[in-house]
Chains A and B, each alone.
Chain A
Amino acid sequence: MKIITAKTDCACEKRIALDDMILTSDMPTAAGSRMLDGYMSLFDAEVVTRLKEAGHCVSMKADVGEFAVDLMGETSYNGAPVASGVLVNAACETVKNGDAVAAISLDVNGAIRRGAAQSGLVCIKPTYGTVSRYGTIPAACSGECVSVTAGDVKTVADILSVIAGHDDKDGTSLPAEKCEAAGKVTAPVKRIGVIRALCEGVDADVQAKLDEFCAKAQAAGIEIVTFDGAALTAARAAWNVLMSAEVCNNVSRYDGVKYGYRAERFTNIDELYTNSRTEAFGDVLKSVILYGSETLSTENYMKVYDKSLRVRRIICEIFADLFEDADAVLMPAVGKMAYTEEDVKADKYMAFSENVYTAPASITGLPAVVAGGVQLVGPALSDAALLDAVARIG
């Protein structure tokens, strides 16, 4: 387990850990990649500025998988974060171990939600556009969100209220009134729909978490209904296409010319590019780059990329329909409560199948709250209502 940088050994009440996708001008930010080893940003991310202004102590960086596209962080150039033979998420560990009261992560492909579900923490991936992405290392910009993870709902809500809000520096930032609306409970969650298609085939201990959550919800006076939701499983394939294409495009700037890793041996500019990228990027990221590049080719664009954009719209419509009949939907965040090192050795692309649970919220930009080992997804701007629901459920 690695905390990459601990600037101070501060033990104040307000210390916050950032995952290594969030740029800081006083600590290096490497995005889990040899390519950006030691990279010092010229500026702080907007969320960092807001936290500092609110008196928080931003003093710690937690490792991520290369550009945060993997399962838990296992593709980091620092090696997989493992505790007792089980993969852990570094940002979650900082909270679990009490090194930080909360962790701020860039949720690109759900790693932080998986980590929070497996470590019993509370995590929110807020509505897309309510938290500025200015100063986050870009990976899959159309869906990635800055998320907050902590040990309890109140801390998550408090930290979220500090970092959320309109930012002129982010063209996708929602208007101030919408950001404010996301912070208020206007319609408390009274009915939750369980997405049956996503609950099928999960491990027994995950099923137990789902059952426990439903029982507690009912005890708290929330009605539980069941939806089929089979079409939501298509979010995974579409998200893998969109994410890979965007990651491919976003990491093309790392070419060894301006900053970052540069190969020692090259005789011309093409070799400089090729050798630098070949030496600095890991295998999983390379696969993502190849896949993304292929989906954007003239030959495949309409067949694959454009179709994925259409799937995104359909998934949004399906959610809208579901929210006619329920205030939020329940789904797992993970298929099993622990991933072993052997799991990812046997299938290094596990992130791209296991993200069947996280992709629906990623591809739509809907808010998702992980608590009690399960995931609650609500309509756009229902962030506060979701946190309120999990607080009531306890």
Chain B
Amino acid sequence: MRYETVIGLEVHVELATDSKIFCSCSAHSYGAEPNDHVCPACCGMPGMLPVVNRRVVDFGMKAGMMLNCHINRVTTFDKKSYYYPDLPAAYQTTQWFAPVAVNGTVEIDTPAGKKAIRIKQIHMEEDAGKLVHDLREDTTHVDFNRTSVPLIEIVSQPDLSSAAEVEAYLERLKTLLRYARVAECEMAHGTMRCDVNLSIRPEGSTEYGVRTEMKNMNSIEAIKRAIEYETARHIDAVENGTEVLVQETRRWDDVKGKSYAMRTKETAGDYRYFPDPNVMPVVIDDEWYDSIADSLPELPEVKFERYTSEMGLGEYDAEQLTRSIALCECFESAVEVCGSAKDAANWVISEIMSILNTKGMTYDMLTVNGETLGRLIVLVRDGKVGRANARRILADMFDDATIDPEAYAEKMGFIVSNDTGLIESVVKAVVAADPASVAAYKGGREKALMALFGKCMKELRGNCDPQVLRVVLLAEIEKA
């Protein structure tokens, strides 16, 4: 018999707000000392009351809109109770009864064409802290830096049917949420985590089989392996009676390539949800709703279409640029200033992307201002700054976003000289000093010209129009 895999995902995404969801502590503790970013509220001390961070609701709504969800205009927060040392108040504030967004869809590409994955809901909630086990001392420490960092949980319907579809779905979520600038979605950083619900059924059947859940998956590769393994295990159980499937939570061991049932104690429990009386229902009025709707970005495929058909870029260039909203924004504002899509695309793709790669930064981390880049491009095009020097200015712009290209070029002595007398004297000296290269070029070796050209450029510190230099140099070689 042929089986189909039925998969639903619960994806936790950390929202990129500056502060936590119910207090003003910083939500970014990467590299911080344990318990540096805590206050009496987020470490669960009595007497502190939660005050909802409006930015979190902004981001929750934005995520909902990006995933074509209906936004609940009255959205409420609820308490979910359970004991764990990383949960300081022994309850998590989440959304159970009226989540911010419901009934959406995410379209993915599959070999059989487009497929719509239905979204059941998106709810906002607070993250828990972290336990740090010290094996030498046989103790466990708690770090509350992460408690109350805002999350959204995106719950899909069981519409996915393969590891490849899951991958496509997660990639699409990443793209949409990154484009909306609500989240980093980096599984390796833990800013995107995934629970996989999986069952199998005979192809064509509409009944669901016994479902198992694998929690806290944090790499797409591991998810794919886990799905393959679980599918095989379920089929084996059904076909060969190797085991009796039960609805349970399982832990995926990526090193061993196996899933294990968790102790029932870890999975059993009644979360005793109830409305949090300290958080008033959040009412989203038209003005608020519209301000978020108006701030939604153009989708990558729309940008791609516009770049290729209206702006005349090649498909490769358009594809590279649309990999990140930051690259797109930089490109688009550079075009506005310099007027050339081709030039702007070249600078973003060949210069900016490679600097980001070298620095180990993601494309979304780009801080270079597109307008400034546009002015730099104009300087190069007008022959006022040599390309090599322009690259140096650009590199410095990564460290200092306030750099003004004209003033900086002036300060650094990068303005191209129009002093033909200087160029001629440099060329004369170089040609006179290197008769071997001159002879080689005359003998037909093109490369020798480049060597002489390079020496001249170096003497001129790059501040020379390459076309002018070339003409003067060739003339001088003729004479020699």
Interface residues of A (CB under 8 A from B): 23, 31, 36, 41-43, 45, 133-138, 141-142, 168-172, 245-246, 249-250, 252-253, 255, 257-259, 269, 273, 293, 296-298, 301, 305, 309
Among residues of A, the one whose C-beta sits closest to the C-beta of B77 is: A171
Write out the residue numbers on chain A whose beta carbons fall within 8 Å of the beta carbon of B277. Answer: 141-142, 172, 246
Partner of B85, one of A137, A141, A257: A257
Shortest distance between the CB of A131 and any CB in chain B (Å): 13
Are A171 and B279 in contact, CB atoms less than 8 angstroms apart? yes
Q: Which 5 A-B pairs have the closest CB atoms?
A: A142-B277, A252-B90, A296-B272, A253-B89, A135-B47
Q: Is the C-beta of B206 less than 8 angstroms from some C-beta in chain A? A: no
Are B50 and A249 in contact, CB atoms less than 8 angstroms apart? no
New A-B contacts (19) at CB < 8 Å, excluding given A258-B88, A298-B270? A23-B46, A31-B46, A41-B45, A42-B40, A137-B46, A138-B46, A138-B278, A169-B51, A172-B280, A245-B274, A252-B83, A252-B90, A252-B91, A253-B90, A257-B85, A257-B142, A273-B83, A296-B272, A301-B273
Are A45 and B47 in contact, CB atoms less than 8 angstroms apart? yes
Write out the residue numbers on chain B whose beta carbons fall within 8 Å of the beta carbon of A168. Answer: 51
Write out the residue numbers on chain A whose beta carbons fall within 8 Å of the beta carbon of B89. Answer: 252-253
Are B45 and A171 in contact, CB atoms less than 8 angstroms apart? no
Among residues of A, the one whose C-beta sits closest to the C-beta of B46 is: A137
Considering the chains assembled together, what is the distance between the CA atoms of A136 and B83 in angstroms?
23
Write out the residue numbers on chain B whose beta carbons fall within 8 Å of the beta carbon of A45. Answer: 47
Write out the residue numbers on chain B whose beta carbons fall within 8 Å of the beta carbon of A41. Answer: 40, 45-47
Write out the residue numbers on chain B whose beta carbons fall within 8 Å of the beta carbon of A133. Answer: 49
Q: Which of A257, A259, A309 lies at the interface centre, i.e. has the most chain B CB atoms within 10 A of its CB?
A: A257
Are B50 and A171 in contact, CB atoms less than 8 angstroms apart? yes
Q: Which of B13-64 contact A (CB under 8 A)?
A: 40, 43-52
A-B contact pairs, 10 of them (CB 8 A): A43-B47, A134-B47, A135-B47, A142-B277, A171-B50, A252-B83, A253-B46, A258-B43, A297-B270, A301-B272
Write out the residue numbers on chain A whose beta carbons fall within 8 Å of the beta carbon of B272. Answer: 245, 249, 293, 296-298, 301
Partner of A249, one of B46, B48, B274, B279: B274
Q: Which of B272, B279, B280 lies at the interface centre, i.e. has the most chain A CB atoms within 10 A of its CB?
A: B272
Shortest distance between the CB of B111 and any CB in chain A (Å): 42
Considering the chains assembled together, what is the distance between the CA atoms of A136 and B89 in angstroms?
15
Are A301 and B274 in contact, CB atoms less than 8 angstroms apart? yes
Write out the residue numbers on chain B whose beta carbons fall within 8 Å of the beta carbon of A42. Answer: 40, 45
Write out the residue numbers on chain B whose beta carbons fall within 8 Å of the beta carbon of A258. Answer: 43-45, 88, 142
Considering the chains assembled together, what is the distance between the CA atoms of A45 and B46 in angstroms?
11
Are A136 and B47 in contact, CB atoms less than 8 angstroms apart? yes
Q: Is the C-beta of B79 less than 8 angstroms from some C-beta in chain A? A: yes
Considering the chains assembled together, what is the distance between the CA atoms of A74 and B315 in angstroms?
79
Chain B: number of interface residues, binned into ranges: 20 to 34
Write out the residue numbers on chain A whose beta carbons fall within 8 Å of the beta carbon of B50. Answer: 171
Q: Is the C-beta of B81 less than 8 angstroms from some C-beta in chain A? A: yes
Considering the chains assembled together, what is the distance between the CA atoms of A257 and B85 in angstroms?
7
Q: Which of B81-99 contact A (CB under 8 A)?
A: 81, 83, 85, 88-91
Are B52 and A253 in contact, CB atoms less than 8 angstroms apart? no
Partner of A137, one of B47, B88, B273: B47
Write out the residue numbers on chain A whose beta carbons fall within 8 Å of the beta carbon of B43. Answer: 258
Considering the chains assembled together, what is the distance between the CA atoms of A163 and B237 in angstroms?
67
Shortest distance between the CB of B186 and any CB in chain A (Å): 30
Partner of B44, one of A134, A253, A269: A253
Write out the residue numbers on chain B whose beta carbons fall within 8 Å of the beta carbon of A257. Answer: 85, 142
Shortest distance between the CB of A320 and any CB in chain B (Å): 20
A interface footprint on B304-317 (CB within 8 Å = 1, 0 otherwise): 00000000000000
Write out the residue numbers on chain A whose beta carbons fall within 8 Å of the beta carbon of B44. Answer: 253, 258
Are A171 and B52 in contact, CB atoms less than 8 angstroms apart? yes
Shortest distance between the CB of A118 and any CB in chain B (Å): 29
Considering the chains assembled together, what is the distance between the CA atoms of A135 and B46 in angstroms?
7
A interface footprint on B271-288 (CB within 8 Å = 1, 0 otherwise): 011110111100000000
A253 and B88 contact, Cβ closer than 8 Å, known pairs A41-B45, A42-B40, A296-B273 = yes
Are A249 and B81 in contact, CB atoms less than 8 angstroms apart? yes
